[in-house]
Amino acid sequence: MYIPGLLVSLLWSASTTTTVAAAAADQTILANEIQRVSNQSLLWGPYNPSLYFGMRPRIPKSLSVGLVWGNLDTYPGAQKSIRHTCEQSDDMKGYGWVEYDVRTGGKQVIHDQANFIDIEIELVKVPGGRNGGNWGARVKGKPRDNAPKTLRSTVFFWATNEDEDGELLLENEPDLAGLKGTVSLRGNIEGLDEFHIEVTEGPATNSGPTQLDSRLDGLDGEADISRSLYRVGSYPAEHIWRVKNIIFAELKGRFDKLMEKFGAENLPPSWQALTFAPKYAEEGQDGNVHLVQRVYEGAFEFDILFSSDSAAKTMTSKILTEKIQENTESFNTRFSKTFKRYAPFDTPKYANFAKDLFSNLLGGIGYFHGTSIVDRSEYPEDEEGFWEPAKANREKSLGQLEGPTTLYTSVPSRQFFPRGFLWDEGFHLLPIIEWDVDVAMEIVRSWFNLMDADGWIAREQILGEEARSKVPKEFQTQYPHYANPPTLLLVLTRFIEKWSSTTNYPNLTGELSQIMEQMSEFGGDGIPHAILTSAESYLKNIYPLLRRQYYWFRDTQAGDIRGYDRTAFSMKEGYRWRGRAPGYCLTSGIDDYPRAEPPHPSELHVDLISWMGFSARLMKNIAIALSETEDAREYGKHEEAILHNIDDLHWNKEAGCYCDATVDTFEENTHVCHVGYVSIFPFLLGLVRDDDKLKSLLEIIGDEEQLWSPFGIRSLSRQDEFYGKGDNYWRGPVWINMNYLAILRLKEYGSVKGPNQQKAAKLYTELRKNVVNNVFRVWEETGFAWEQYEQEKGNGKGVQHFLGWTSLVVNIMALPETVEVIPVPGHDEL
């Protein structure tokens, strides 16, 4: 929200920050150096979040490495036991990062109950050199308590190379019996230069299966399954992401020979038959898919060590051990400081809960590169029944491949939505910006770099065949007249607030050389907040894109006020989501929330005009900070007109809330009132100025027969005819992102003396407690955070492992238990 005191502080702070940088060198030099150091620390990561473990650099068509595992105790169970991509059908007892920082690494634990094993992966990143430094991962497998005494597991390490001009070679001497000891690869790929990868043998406690079929002894091509079984192959570059399929294909040749020799009824044990026959590259060839299979009985452990030749030191198991402990200690200290929990959530039982949710949000950050399908045909929505010809045209599949483009983003769910969603991303970044401002703003920049010449950003980023494999064909195409809530503006609001208080970061002071020294280690206090020293430069660079998108919204999502004889303060400030269909408004983000039926070109939508009011306010604040005086005046006029029109066009006195507008059978303006999130949207974004209207909205929010529940605010009133009906997606269930906005607004209004202060403060305390307690309860019971929560019993609903905006619970726990009355409104927590 725009508050004069904030801007005074902001402009003073901008001057102070610039002075700090100018005392050392030109601010541009500082900004460039910050960007360089930050990029180095962010080069490597588990940036394929759809995989249980998949490392890659932020380089298109480069090296990728990862793991696949499964159980080999029986033939029937072997194929379905193979784990590679995160799947809800894998029936995990829980999985994910229990601690994670994108710059230093962390620990992931996977409770694979169907395979009777828990997998633990401890990842460490070590700075050094010019190519992103070194990294290592310690992989441990521990049989679960109910596992068979002779649990036989197989683990595949894989490495793929998409760079057709690069190379990736095995360093070991080929041995058809299998490789002893450490398996070593060396490579040279653009952006990484020369590097080495080692897959260590692990401790002496590792052991292979003891019950073996002696009939295989001495047969041609039979390897020793106590060794590492290596195979290399060359596959079309566009298909090498299908690692699981490639593994099955490489296993099939040997298995078919065993079937031919012994028959289906007399096969050797599955832990022997379902293994590789070693295969090595021909002289002068390297292959682009490298596989290492190991078979274990019981517990196992090994390390994956990546060393950049440009680094001063080689990555070793000793360094990995030291850094694992060091990173755990530093993560816990920093987390407690960054996300201090307040009563009643300041007890130890909430500590792991908070770290789990936040770590999985960060662990869901990915790097994506590829083409997307875009249909740039015209689909006018100005005539009645517009959705019917639009649907017919969509069914013709007129979309064309565009790109490739790249995107650095977090994802809502690693198993179900492992790609970028514009509507979700702004909420994802609200916890992230508290931890690492630079990462959050790097992601914002990445999203805005996708903008086309008109100002459009596709609401769902499905980049490349791997991403498209997770999306039904009918949802793959993106349409340039479809919008999505501009939630990235929530993050920019918080960024400006942090810029206004950069004196809170004492490490960012002194001479340029001292600042660079402070940022020399990944994950130190320097890098995550260093961008604040060049915040003005960042905003200047992104401002033209923000302005372009702002006017794209105003042009493409405009609604008709004058054509339907509506009375309003402004004849221009009315808005309508495009992409409506009977029963749905997918572009709004709240898909099946009840709207006017049938859809009509006269519609005006409360939530969209609220987003536009929020946008105008933020654009005004940014323009003031950047001394864009004329622009600021322009945005200010828009904001004022929108605030008036929200009331003039959408307030319904009888319902006591805001309602969508349409026309009746006589072409007369009428409201469509379905009490729920849409009804309170101006409140959620801090746009309600009238005390009487605020009082009415607070009564609706606090009414158990309407929106209030013991688990959070429902998406639709209990009294609505569509409550719990149809898809029941946004027709009752509790969503954490909307509850987060409500909690912030209640805190804000509860802090201001006035007729509604006491009511807002009481609702704030109760809603904060209800939301956190329910998400925590379900997490304890199921091992997961969920997409939404059932409105009557509070159980998890929809997609599991949704982190995702459900991680906003971490921010909620970091808010005070009660609010204090202050004489003027405090700044917006967004």
The yes-or-no answer on residue 787 being catalytic is yes
Cα–Cα distance measured from residue 764 to residue 516, given in angstroms and rounded to the nearest whole number: 43
**In this structure, are strands 44-45 and 366-374 parallel, antiparallel, or unpaired?**
unpaired
The structure tokens listed for 702 are: 């606090």
Q: Do residues 116 and 143 touch, judged by C-beta distance below 8 A?
A: yes
- The answer to whether the peptide bond before residue 804 is cis (omega within 30 degrees of 0) is yes
Residue of 787, 790, 828, 829 marked active site:
787
Q: Do residues 733 and 805 touch, judged by C-beta distance below 8 A?
A: no
Cα–Cα distance measured from residue 703 to residue 767, given in angstroms and rounded to the nearest whole number: 12
The structure tokens listed for 660 are: 């969508």
Q: Do residues 160 and 54 touch, judged by C-beta distance below 8 A?
A: no
Cα–Cα distance measured from residue 484 to residue 457, given in angstroms and rounded to the nearest whole number: 9
The structure tokens listed for 392 are: 């017919």
Cα–Cα distance measured from residue 514 to residue 533, given in angstroms and rounded to the nearest whole number: 14
Residue ranges with strand state E in 192-246? 193-199, 229-233
Cα–Cα distance measured from residue 18 to residue 593, given in angstroms and rounded to the nearest whole number: 47
Burial of 474 (0-12, 13-18, 19+ CB in 10 A): exposed
Neighbours of 570 (CB within 10 A): 16
The structure tokens listed for 572 are: 């221009």
Scanning the structure block, which residue is given the tokens 């002071």?
509
Q: Output the CA angle 680-684-689, nearest 5 degrees.
A: 80
**In this structure, are strands 229-233 and 289-297 parallel, antiparallel, or unpaired?**
antiparallel
Cα–Cα distance measured from residue 656 to residue 700, given in angstroms and rounded to the nearest whole number: 8
Cα–Cα distance measured from residue 621 to residue 613, given in angstroms and rounded to the nearest whole number: 13
Predicted TM-score of the model (pTM): 0.93
**SS3 category, 430:** helix
Supply the pLDDT for residue 821.
Answer: 72
The yes-or-no answer on residue 664 being catalytic is no
Residue 435 CA: distances (Å) to CA of 101, 192, 218, 289, 339: 9, 28, 58, 37, 8
How far from chain centre, in Å, is Cα 324?
25
Helix/strand/coil (H/E/C) assignment for every residue in 66-85: EEEEEECCCHHHHHHHCECE
The structure tokens listed for 205 are: 């406690």
Neighbours of 767 (CB within 10 A): 23
> Which of 792-806 are b and which e, b meaning 16 or more Cβ less than 10 Å from the residue's Cβ?
eebebbbbbbbbbbb
Q: Do residues 617 and 2 touch, judged by C-beta distance below 8 A?
A: yes
Residues in the chain: 830
Cα–Cα distance measured from residue 814 to residue 358, given in angstroms and rounded to the nearest whole number: 12
Q: Do residues 197 and 135 touch, judged by C-beta distance below 8 A?
A: no
Q: Do residues 701 and 708 touch, judged by C-beta distance below 8 A?
A: yes
Q: Do residues 486 and 549 touch, judged by C-beta distance below 8 A?
A: yes
- Helix and strand numbers (H, E) in the chain are 22, 24
Supply the pLDDT for residue 526.
Answer: 57
Q: Do residues 317 and 269 touch, judged by C-beta distance below 8 A?
A: no
Question: What single-letter DSSP state applies at residue 166?
Answer: S
Cα–Cα distance measured from residue 744 to residue 780, given in angstroms and rounded to the nearest whole number: 26
Supply the pLDDT for residue 30.
Answer: 65
Cα–Cα distance measured from residue 433 to residue 416, given in angstroms and rounded to the nearest whole number: 24
Which residues are within 8 A (CB) of 633 and not within 5 positions of it... i.e. 6 or more apart? none
Where do the domains of the chain lie?
Answer: 50-338, 374-813
Q: Hey, what amino acid is at 311?
A: A
The structure tokens listed for 233 are: 């192959």
Residue of 525, 591, 648, 766 marked active site:
591
Residue ranges with strand state E in 362-422? 366-374, 400-409, 420-421
Which residues are within 8 A (CB) of 676 and not within 5 positions of it... i.e. 6 or more apart? 593, 594, 707, 714, 715, 716, 717, 720, 730
Burial of 36 (0-12, 13-18, 19+ CB in 10 A): exposed
Supply the pLDDT for residue 523.
Answer: 44
- Of residues 314, 99, 277, 373, the one with CA closest to residue 196: 314
- Classify 173 in phi/psi space as left (phi over 0), alpha (psi -120 to 50) or beta: beta
Supply the pLDDT for residue 28.
Answer: 65
**SS3 category, 127:** coil
- The answer to whether the peptide bond before residue 269 is cis (omega within 30 degrees of 0) is no
Neighbours of 71 (CB within 10 A): 24
Q: Do residues 760 and 818 touch, judged by C-beta distance below 8 A?
A: no
Which residues are within 8 A (CB) of 793 and not within 5 positions of it... i.e. 6 or more apart? none
Give per-10-residue mean pLDDT for the chain (830 aa).
Answer: 34 41 53 76 97 98 98 91 95 95 98 98 95 97 96 98 96 96 98 98 96 84 92 94 96 92 92 94 89 98 98 97 97 97 97 98 98 93 92 88 98 96 98 97 98 98 96 94 98 94 50 47 58 88 98 98 94 97 98 98 98 98 96 98 99 98 94 98 98 98 98 99 97 99 98 94 98 98 96 96 96 96 51
Domain 50-338 part of CATH 2.40.70.10: no
How far from chain centre, in Å, is Cα 335?
19
Q: Do residues 469 and 517 touch, judged by C-beta distance below 8 A?
A: no
Q: What are phi and psi of 351, to 5 degrees?
A: -65, -55
Cα–Cα distance measured from residue 749 to residue 80, given in angstroms and rounded to the nearest whole number: 54
**SS3 category, 589:** coil
Neighbours of 120 (CB within 10 A): 15
Supply the pLDDT for residue 822.
Answer: 65
Scanning the structure block, which residue is given the tokens 């829980």?
94
Q: CATH number of 374-813: 1.50.10.10, 3.40.50.720, 1.10.3720.10, 1.10.287.130?
A: 1.50.10.10
Helix/strand/coil (H/E/C) assignment for every residue in 603-666: CECHHHHHHHHHHHHHHHHHHHHCCCHHHHHHHHHHHHHHHHHHHHHHEECCCCEECEEEECCC
Q: How many Å is the maximal CA-CA distance in the chain?
A: 91
Supply the pLDDT for residue 319.
Answer: 98
Q: Do residues 472 and 410 touch, judged by C-beta distance below 8 A?
A: no
Residue 100 CA: distances (Å) to CA of 127, 335, 531, 798, 804: 17, 10, 21, 25, 15
